[in-house]
């Protein structure tokens, strides 16, 4: 059966939201629209993976003798190409590139864009859901040479954030600070339609999502938290079930829809992970914005709100505890030594 809101396209939704702000110039709407075009291109390519020889490592040659571009390189280029001359963005950061990415000279706009072009890319070869994550800030000094600094702003200052999940269907989920809205791609006409208006995360859940294979490297607080969630206690809805895809967008998306807590804490596996695995600018902060807008929470394992962390570098890592508010509250108490 067709749901009531079917028929509202994402462009219409963006325009309607823009009308609520008479001072808006339309640049943010324009930027989101360009991103959506890139997302459709990536979605089409993801759906063709395997057929188009996109699987596996870059540097291979396909059957026609053409150089094969790895899918995450493709996604990175697709987004950069849309942004380079759109006039809405001044500078970008991508998980795929070490340095800040400038736009074509003369086309600098008033926003910054940080993105993970294809998160969970180790899952591409096994046909598991992957996603694109994006975070948009207002540039501090549009067009200035100090553009990397423009990208280093706290999540709390985001003007928009979202992700596209390439799963059993392709969905766009985004927020501009007025709730969280989900759109499903109808691939036959190439249009995203509003399918999940005003998403709210359940206050408590029955799912935890973490890589238990890392448990020998966890701190005691994390280990005790997970043991607690696995213990039987009918009154508090335990034990929780485990759900872990290993693809952040997919794990987050499930928790957004049905509730859940995702934990990627600091661990002692490698020096890099002493600060967590996931990246602040284009993984943790945008998902934290969405979580908070949907009634959830996102913190580090030392109790800081992800949204309030001032980044010190483009690829900074953070421990990430994110999901249903009641569940994150419980984890916070374990990490603070109160349980």
Q: What angle do CA 226, 229, 232 make, to 5 degrees?
A: 135
Output 151 or 284, the one with its CB closest to ligand AHM.
284
CA distance 129 to 49: 12
Q: Does the footprint of Mg ion cover residue 116 (CB under 5 A)?
A: yes
Q: Which two tokens stand for residue 178?
A: 């007025």
Q: Does the footprint of Mg ion cover residue 251 (CB under 5 A)?
A: no
The dihedrals phi and psi of 257, each to the nearest 5 degrees, come to -80, -50
Interface residue with ligand AHM, options 96, 108, 119, 292 (CB under 6 A): 119
Q: Does the footprint of ligand AHM cover residue 248 (CB under 6 A)?
A: yes
CA distance 163 to 192: 13
Stretch that binds Mg ion, among 67-75, 111-119, 201-209, 319-327 (CB under 5 A): 111-119
Closest approach of ligand AHM to the CB of residue 174, in Å: 19
Output 91 or 278, the one with its CB closest to Mg ion.
278
Task: Name residue, tokens 């992700």.
Answer: 163
**Under 8 Å between Cβ of 299 and 329:** no
Output 119 or 292, the one with its CB closest to Mg ion.
119
CA distance 15 to 29: 7
Interface residue with Mg ion, options 119, 267, 292, 327 (CB under 5 A): 119
Interface residue with ligand AHM, options 11, 41, 149, 211 (CB under 6 A): 211
Q: Does the footprint of ligand AHM cover residue 247 (CB under 6 A)?
A: yes
Number of residues that bind ligand AHM (CB under 6 A): 11
CA distance 124 to 57: 11
**Is residue 289 within a helix (H) or strand (E), and if so which, with residue range?**
helix 285-293
| Residue ranges binding ligand AHM (CB under 6 A) | 95, 116, 119-122, 211, 246-248, 277
């Amino acid at each position: 059966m067709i749901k009531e809101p079917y028929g509202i396209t994402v462009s219409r939704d963006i325009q309607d939201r823009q009308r609520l702000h008479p001072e808006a110039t339309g640049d943010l709407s324009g930027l989101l629209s360009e991103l959506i075009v890139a997302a459709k291109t990536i979605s089409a390519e993801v759906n063709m993976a395997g057929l188009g020889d996109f699987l596996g490592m870059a540097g291979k040659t396909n059957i026609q003798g053409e150089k094969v571009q790895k899918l995450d390189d493709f996604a990175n280029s697709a987004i950069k190409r849309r942004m380079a001359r759109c006039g809405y963005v001044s500078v970008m950061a991508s998980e795929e590139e070490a340095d800040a990415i400038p736009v074509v000279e003369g086309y600098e706009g008033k926003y910054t864009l940080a993105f993970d072009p294809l998160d969970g890319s180790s899952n591409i070869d096994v046909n598991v859901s992957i996603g694109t994550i994006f975070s948009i800030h207002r540039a501090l000094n549009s067009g200035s040479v100090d553009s990397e600094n423009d990208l280093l702003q706290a999540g709390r200052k985001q003007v928009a954030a979202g992700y596209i999940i390439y799963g059993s269907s392709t969905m766009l989920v985004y927020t501009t600070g007025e709730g969280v809205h989900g759109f499903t791609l109808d691939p036959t006409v190439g249009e995203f339609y509003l399918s999940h208006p005003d998403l709210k995360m359940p206050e408590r859940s029955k799912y935890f999502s973490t890589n238990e294979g890392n448990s020998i490297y966890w701190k005691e607080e994390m280990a005790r938290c997970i043991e607690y969630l696995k213990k039987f206690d009918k009154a508090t809805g335990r034990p929780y079930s485990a759900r872990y895809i290993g693809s952040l967008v997919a794990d987050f998306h499930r928790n957004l829809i049905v509730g859940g807590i995702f934990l990627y804490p600091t661990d002692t596996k490698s020096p890099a992970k002493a600060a967590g695995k996931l990246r602040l600018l284009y993984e943790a902060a945008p998902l934290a914005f969405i979580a908070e807008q949907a009634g959830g929470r996102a913190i580090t394992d030392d109790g800081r709100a992800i949204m309030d962390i001032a980044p010190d570098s483009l690829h900074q890592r953070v421990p990430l505890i994110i999901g249903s508010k009641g569940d994150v509250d419980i984890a916070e108490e374990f990490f603070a030594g109160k349980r």
